[in-house]
Amino acid sequence: MYGYQNKIARVNLTTGKVTYEELPDEVIRKFIGGKGLGYYIIYKEVPPGTDPLSPANKFVFATGGLTGLIPGSSKVIAVSKSPETRLISDSAAGDFFGPKLKGHFDALIIEGKSEEPVYLYVHDGKVEIKDASHLWGKGTYETAQLIWKEHPSASMAMIGPASERLSRIASVIYDTQRASGRGGLGAVLGSKRVKAVVVEPGERPKVAEPEEFQKLWQEYYEKFATDPKYADQRTYGTTSALWWAAEVGMSPSYNFTRPHIPFELADKLAGNEVKKYEVEPEWYIHGKSCPIKCARYVEVEYKGRKIRVKPEYESIAMLGAATGVFDFPAVAYFNWLVNDLGMDSIATGNTIAWLFEMVERGLIGEDEIGFPLKGFGDAEAEERLIKLMAERKGIGAILADGVKRACERLGRGCEFAVHVKGMESPAWDPRGRRTFALSYATADVGASHMRGWPFPHSLPNDGPAKELVPSLIEERDGRYITDMLGVCDFLPYTKEELAHLYSLVTGEEWTLEELRKRAQAVESMARIHNALDWVTPPLDDTIPPRWWEPEPDGPAKGNAAFIDYNDFLEARREFYRLRGWHEELGVPLPETMEKLGLPEFKEDAERALEVVKKRVEANQP
């Protein structure tokens, strides 16, 4: 098929063998690429119940159907079974790794376990397994520089010390500044002793309709790069988001206890404050890359150390506002530090914010922590905790696997640990937007802000959450589509435009309706696998206690995530119904899988329904 290599590389680390497989067109038509292809591979090859940190788990880098082909299409999707949640999980990243991998393969599968540290070297359409003992134990910045000395034109996905020590919130870092952060997928590579995957430029896939495609490419690039409508995004990237989140009551400030904070406080970490430190580094790649650029390099000096990093809203908000540290140089340094150590900035900030609240409430003290900690706003303690978490030392050993395990290990504080299914909430409090908490509750990976935003914007008390469920589903399908195509969500393509571009690339007619059908199919497939593993939707599709507390002030004052519990149940039931799932059990119906063109999943859907039904009955009084 045009737009693809029709090729998958498989690396078995146990045997040391690399094999190459055809990717059939019929698989592409069902799962497209990126998230869809990655989920299909994990579903097919990693049975429910597999230990995520065992050699039986697999790791997939999957490029999207449009990766590297249109402006803003740099995504690669990392997919594996999450060590943090035990769910099939994916985490996307941009920059150059994805397009370079697309020049060789549509997906790279890593399986088994190496006895010694290795890195994978992808070049000329093949993969070599190379020794990485000289890289093991090093941070990602030093690792990258050492690899670039040997492979100066390559891009890389790599892990830091946190992954090597199997932190369940460890990330995969790309070229030092981008991350597949969610779900602890870095620990999967750490368990397999893979320090890095290094990819040289390859041959770009051919396009079916090159003349019209190139004409549209130029038009879209110029539009996104010059249209005044996108000026704010081009100027600030995502760093101005704290202004808006704080204004509408969706900020994670102080471990989600103060979703509304004054503009003057938010301004210390947002927009213009970040711009003060913006620089163009000497290694910046000039020319036509992304026309929006959601992040830019900043240079700050913290404690006499000068560092460069590309901060975005989620990292700034979770390492800063959530912990009460409203000091941008400190927060930028924390961002640099978690990148170097290979840790998810969202999960790290969330977990430290929870510990700070524990201190504020007098539920933990210096005797257990091991050093004085003031609570919210303690930058000195935050820096120390980040390092201890990566090292698994002292209190860091308690925190290294995320907030759910931390509160369970200490046996207290779980009522204000903000997570869904074990994945920490990102920097958007759903009490400031109607039905948004349902997106968190039903998302395939746990708490993710990338699984659909209901619209239009209104407050939970403005009306039944059920009313906005169709818009949530529409938006969720849209996020799946961009993750399957490998396109950044910040590029303002309409989904109809993406369907047209995909048709020009493949030479086949693709409609938005068909892309949505593929999105629903992939989500349903993931839900079947997760239900056969451990998820019982009526018990696990829920939200943390914090979001049942009404907001204390601001425009969302008095709003919890839903009007009441019945409002939540009605909305969830409506979501299940519209998705073609059992209205009470939340499992895809066998007939739905057939309608979606996946009849081979009917039997698994039937088994999942029976398994979940028995679990629910066993939990009834």
DSSP H or E segment with residue 107: strand 107-111
| Mean pLDDT, residues 512-530 taken together | 98
Domain boundaries 433-489+511-619, CATH class: mainly alpha
Spell out the residues 6+ positions from residue 314 whose beta carbon is closer than 8 angstroms to its own: 238, 345, 346, 426, 427, 449
**Where does residue 264 rank: exposed (0-12), middle (13-18), buried (19+ CB within 10 A)?**
exposed
* Mean pLDDT for the chain overall: 96
Residues constituting the chain: 621
pLDDT digits (tens, 9 = 90+) for 489-507: 889 999 999 999 999 999 9
For 569-608, the pLDDT digits (tens) are 999 999 999 999 999 999 999 999 999 999 999 999 999 9
pLDDT of 121 reads: 98
CA distances from 569 to 440, 441, 458, 565 (A): 14, 11, 19, 6
- pLDDT for residue 339 is more than 60: yes
Q: What is the mean pLDDT of residues 411-439?
A: 98
**Which candidate, 602, 438, 579, places its Cα nearest to that of 519?**
579
pLDDT for position 236: 85
Give pLDDT, residue 94: 85
Supply the pLDDT for residue 287.
41
C-alpha distances in Å from residue 298, one per residue of 235, 284, 345: 14, 12, 17
Structure tokens at 266: 């938010």
What's the CATH fold of domain 238-420?
1.10.569
* Cα–Cα distance for residue pair 10/262, rounded to 1 Å: 52
pLDDT tens, residue by residue, 255-301: 999 999 999 999 999 989 999 999 976 544 434 568 877 778 999 99
Pairing mode, if any, of strands 178-180 and 76-81? Answer: unpaired
Tell me the two tokens of residue 367. Answer: 């005797």
Residue 263: Cβ within 10 Å count: 11
Section 242-254 average pLDDT: 97
pLDDT of 163 higher than 90:
yes
Contact predicate 391/165, CB 8 Å: yes
Give the pLDDT confidence of 112-136 residue by residue, as tens digits: 999 999 999 999 999 999 999 999 9
pLDDT in tens, 4-14: 999 999 999 99
Question: Alpha helix locations (H) across 57-184?
Answer: 97-102, 140-150, 161-164
pLDDT the model gives residue 235: 84
Radius of gyration of the chain (CA): 23
Considering the four listed CATH numbers 3.30.470.20, 3.60.9.10, 3.40.50.1220, 3.10.105.10, the one that applies to the domain covering 7-199 is 3.60.9.10
How much is the pLDDT for 56?
A: 98
Instruction: Give the pLDDT confidence score for residue 620 in this predicted structure.
Output: 86
CB neighbour list of residue 336: distance below 8 Å, 6 or more residues apart: 307, 308, 309
Q: Which residue is it, tokens 């101005």?
A: 240
| Per-residue pLDDT at 203 exceeds 90 | yes
Q: What is the pLDDT of residue 281?
A: 60
Could you tell me whether strands 118-123 and 194-199 are parallel, antiparallel, or unpaired per DSSP bridges?
A: parallel
**Mean pLDDT of the 164-191 span:** 97
Contacts of 11 (CB under 8 A, 6+ apart): 17, 18, 108, 109, 110, 111, 120, 127, 129
- Report the pLDDT value the prediction gives residue 283, as an integer from 0 to 100: 47
Q: What pLDDT sits at residue 282?
A: 52
- Kindly report, residue by residue over 530-560, the tens digit of the pLDDT: 999 999 999 999 999 999 999 999 999 999 9
What is the residue extent of each domain of the chain? 7-199, 238-420, 433-489+511-619
What average pLDDT score do residues 345-362 get? 98
The predicted pLDDT at position 2 comes to 98
If one compares 246 and 235, the residue with the highest pLDDT of the two is 246
240 against 132, higher pLDDT: 132
pLDDT above 90: percentage of residues in the chain: 93
For position 621, what pLDDT does the model report? 82
